[in-house]
Copies of this chain bind each other. A is one copy, B any other.
Amino acid sequence: MSYANEMPTLQKVARTDAGLAAELRLSVMRLRRRLASERHPDNELSIPQMGVLGVLYRTADALTVGELAAAERVQPPSMTRTVNCLEETGDVVRRPHETDGRQVVVELSDQGRARVIADRERRDAWLARRLKELTPDERAILRRAAPILEHLAQRD
């Protein structure tokens, strides 16, 4: 393989932290890319829109536009716009904040919740099928690896 020839040191450097870092970064990026491609063909929402639904679902609570913007690492005007689209499609509901007249809170509609769940289930189903093709030993390794990966991702 020409790729192997271009990067012959990759196999060796996997024994150092730097080498493992490079290998892990590639694996994670690639798997995420593949997961991202498992979209439901009928789901026409964009990635930022699905991202908002995902944040609301994970938080299991209504959030202000500012909180959503912070969670998704965008500026509030961008989030306003994305939420506008989601309100139009009926996936979220906007309402005034209970105590602060400046704020607006956004929450999942039933439709939006169903959409997140369907999207996740589709990805999980694909991944579960791929996992089935592994050996029990390989699966055991991934079982131990998943929480470590999660830990790596946490804010440092």
Tell me whether A25 and B123 are in contact (CB under 8 A). yes
Cross-chain contact of A23 among B33, B146, B156 (Cβ < 8 A): B146
A20 located at the interface, meaning its Cβ lies under 8 Å from any Cβ of chain B in the complex: yes
Q: How many copies does the complex hold?
A: 2
A120 located at the interface, meaning its Cβ lies under 8 Å from any Cβ of chain B in the complex: yes
Please judge, given known A-B contacts A6-B60, A148-B134, whether A25 and B14 are in contact too, CB under 8 Å: no
Tell me whether B60 and A149 are in contact (CB under 8 A). no
Tell me whether A28 and B31 are in contact (CB under 8 A). yes
**A side interface size, CB within 8 A:** 53
Majority DSSP secondary structure for residues of A touching B? helix
Within 8 A of B (CB), among A100-156: 120, 123-125, 127-128, 130-132, 134, 138-139, 141-154, 156
Give A150 to B32 CA distance when docked, in angstroms. 10
Cross-chain contact of A21 among B14, B29, B33, B127 (Cβ < 8 A): B127
Give A131 to B15 CA distance when docked, in angstroms. 12
Other CB < 8 Å A-B pairs besides A21-B128, A31-B150, 11 of them? A18-B128, A24-B127, A24-B142, A27-B153, A30-B150, A31-B149, A130-B152, A134-B148, A141-B145, A142-B145, A145-B149
